[in-house]
Each structure stands twice: as C-alpha cells, then as structure tokens.
C-alpha cells in the first residue's frame, strides 16, 4: 500500500489516508452574516465523496472585524453552529474527517469599520490603516478564539487549526516586519509569540482533539521571519500540545515569491526534523508521485492540496490510479448505474 493511502492517527482520531484539503476562502456567505450557504453544503461534501481523508474548512472568523471579506464564514456567534454542523454531517457521511481553521484577518481585513493589528501599519497603500490593539483588545480576541473552539466542538469537527500564517493577525504578531510594539507583545521572539501562546493555551483548555497551527515559515523579506526562527517556535507549540504544524509561507508583506512544484516542502521537512513535530506539506503539490515522495522520505506526515482539489474534487482516485492501487468507492458507485 502506498504511504499516501495509509491511515494516520492523532489523539485517537484516525484519518483514512494522508490526503488533506487545505483551507481556501470561498467568499460565499451571504448578507455579511458569516453563515453557511448551499455553496458550502455542496463544495465540501463533494471532496468527501472524492475520498479526501481530512477536509479543513476555509478561514472562519472568530470576530466580525476579523473577516478577510464580508463574504467569509464566521464562528463568532452561536447562530453559526447549526450551519457548520450540517456541513460536518454531510462530509462525515462519506468517511472524511473534518477540520475548521479559526482565523482573524488583522490588518488584512477588508470589512467596514475599525480593523486591528499589533501596530498601526497598513499592509499596503490599497489597505486601510489598522488600529493598534490594546491589551484589552488582545484579551477579547483570545476569548473569541476560545468561544470559537467551543462552537467548533459543538458543531462536531474533528480537528481545529489556528491560522497563524499568510499575514493575518497572529502572523502579524509573530514577525518583526509589522509588530513594532514596545510592550510584552513586541520585541524579542518570546514576546511576539505571546499572543499565539495564549491562543493555543486558551483553545487547549476547551478542546481535547487534534490541534494544528498553520504558519508562514518564510517572510521572503529582509528582517522578517525564516524557517530557522520558526523551528524554535514549533518547539514551543509542541510543548503546548499542538499536534501538527501546517507549513505554508509568505503573505505578511508584499513580496516576490519564486514558486515551483513543492516549493514549500523543504520548510515542512526542516520543522519536522528539527522540532520533532508532525507537519503538513503544502504548495503546488499536484501529482501522486510527488505526494508519495514527500511521505516516503519523511518530509511531512500529511500532504495538503489546495487548487488541485478545486480542479479535481476526485483527486484521490486520480492518485490511486497513478500509484496502481484501488481504493473504496462511495456506496452508490459500487452499485453501478442503470439507464432508462
């Protein structure tokens, strides 16, 4: 059996294979209410039918002002639980494990009103200037992550991922490029990590299941964070009970990124080996042989596909065929079709 199709277990939760769907914003909530729509009820379960082992929902805002856009999913209210639970139910019908990415956009939010960041520095000229967060603002955001984790549990998710990447709020605190604070949340690495530390502890206090953190392992800009600095932070995350680091890169400042197939895999590899923590590899992974190489060589524990699963919701079948193996099909497919 190819490693790609072997089960993987975290905290008693078994994923039937090592294929995960990376969180990708769908911008499909209506009326600025952050609620699940029919789009979500079709989009995610189709990937479950396609035999993806773990499906992680898009960045889901823990506060209204923390949305990337007005059309983002939300989990800041109990009113969101019912819709999210329905999507979970539909995915689990087909054997997929389900995850949700808890997020706050920080200075990259494009919603109306005040937006927050560690320091009052806009992402670019096209973005609003954020308001520097007070300690009270930070405490309220930590509580929002805690409440969101409770709601995720009530909705039935198997995995929570904390979004600490791509230039959104937590990532903004982690990097000195946009964290110029002079208090206990700024300056040395331990201080810049403080918000993520407190969010992890808060989520862990109400969540017993698998916990992932997504990071941007490289800022691609002089004076920013690189993978060696994130190795240290990954060790801190492991000590706090984080189970897997979902390793991406970039997004904290406008920067040129040289992309190529698997361009971020080396970051997952280094963090896995140096911090001795499970990692997920992501970044232009498109073929089964490419995914199998990553796993066979111990460069990551899961492979996360993004755009490839948008193009081909049944990619696991494509991958199985490429590797010369058979995987289970949904029950209706086993029964075959009749035409009249």
pLDDT digits (tens, 9 = 90+) for 231-262: 999 999 999 999 999 999 999 999 999 999 99
Surface-to-core class of residue 209, CB atoms within 10 Å of its CB (0-12 exposed, 13-18 middle, 19+ buried): middle
Helix ranges (H only) for the chain are: 38-49, 81-92, 135-155, 169-174, 189-192, 194-204, 227-240, 265-275, 288-296, 307-311, 315-323, 331-335
Angle at Cα 20 formed by Cα 19 and Cα 26, nearest 5°?
A: 140
Neighbours of 69 (CB within 10 A): 16
| Helix (H), strand (E) at residue 59 | strand 54-61
Phi, psi of 110 (to 5 degrees): -120, 20
Q: Do residues 163 and 59 touch, judged by C-beta distance below 8 A?
A: yes
pLDDT tens figures, 89-99: 999 999 999 99
23-256 has CATH 3.30.930.10 classification: no
pTM of the model: 0.95
For β-strands 8-10 and 244-248, DSSP reports them as unpaired
Distance CA 149, CA 302 (A): 23
Tell me how far apart the terminal alpha carbons of the chain are, to the nearest angstrom: 39
The residue with greater pLDDT, 202 or 32, is 202
**Residue extents of the structural domains in the chain:** 23-256
Considering Cα of 305, then 308, then 310, then 315, what sign does the dihedral take?
negative
| More confident site: 104 or 29 | 104
Three-class SS state of 117? strand
Asked if pLDDT for residue 327 goes beyond 90, the answer is no
Evaluate if residue 276 carries a pLDDT over 90: yes
Residues in Cβ contact with 285 at an 8 Å cutoff, skipping those fewer than 6 apart: 261, 262, 265, 291, 294, 303, 304, 305, 308
* Stretch 103-107: mean pLDDT: 97
CA dist., res. 131 & res. 134, Å (int):
9
Count other C-beta atoms under 10 Å from residue 287's C-beta: 16
The H or E element that residue 100 is part of is strand 97-103
pLDDT tens-place string over residues 44-82: 999 999 999 999 999 999 999 999 999 999 999 999 999
For 148-178, write each residue's pLDDT tens digit: 999 999 999 999 999 999 999 999 999 999 9
Across 275-287, average pLDDT: 97
Residue positions counted in the chain: 340
């Amino acid at each position: 059996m190819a490693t790609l199709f072997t089960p993987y277990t975290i905290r008693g939760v078994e994923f039937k294979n090592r294929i995960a769907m990376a969180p990708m914003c769908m911008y499909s909530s209506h009326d600025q209410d952050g609620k699940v729509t029919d789009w979500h009820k079709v989009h995610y379960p189709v990937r479950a039918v396609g035999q993806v082992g773990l499906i992680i929902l898009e960045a889901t805002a823990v506060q209204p002002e923390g949305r990337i856009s007005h059309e983002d999913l939300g989990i800041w209210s109990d009113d969101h639980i019912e819709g999210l639970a329905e999507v979970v139910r539909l995915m689990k019908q087909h054997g997929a494990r389900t995850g949700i990415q808890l997020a706050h956009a920080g200075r990259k939010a494009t919603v109306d009103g005040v937006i927050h960041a560690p320091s009052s520095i806009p992402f670019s000229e096209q973005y609003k200037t954020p308001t520097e967060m007070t300690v009270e603002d930070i405490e309220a955001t930590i509580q929002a992550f805690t409440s969101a984790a409770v709601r995720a549990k009530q909705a039935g998710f198997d995995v929570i991922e904390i979004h600490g990447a791509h230039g959104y709020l937590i990532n903004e605190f982690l990097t000195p490029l946009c964290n110029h604070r002079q208090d206990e949340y700024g300056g040395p690495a331990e201080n810049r990590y403080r918000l993520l530390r407190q969010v992890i502890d808060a989520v862990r206090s109400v969540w017993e299941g698998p916990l992932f953190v997504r990071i941007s392992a490289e800022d691609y800009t002089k004076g920013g964070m690189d993978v060696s600095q994130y190795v240290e932070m990954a060790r801190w995350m492991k000590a706090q009970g984080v189970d897997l680091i979902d390793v991406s890169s970039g997004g904290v400042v406008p920067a040129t990124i040289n992309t190529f197939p698997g361009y971020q895999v080396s970051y997952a590899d280094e963090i896995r080996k140096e911090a001795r923590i499970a990692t997920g590899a992501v970044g232009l992974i498109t073929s089964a042989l490419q995914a199998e190489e990553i796993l066979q060589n111990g460069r990551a524990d899961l492979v996360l596909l993004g755009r490839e699963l948008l193009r081909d919701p049944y990619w696991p079948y494509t991958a199985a065929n490429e590797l010369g193996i058979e995987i289970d099909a949904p029950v209706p497919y086993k029964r075959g079709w009749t035409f009249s």
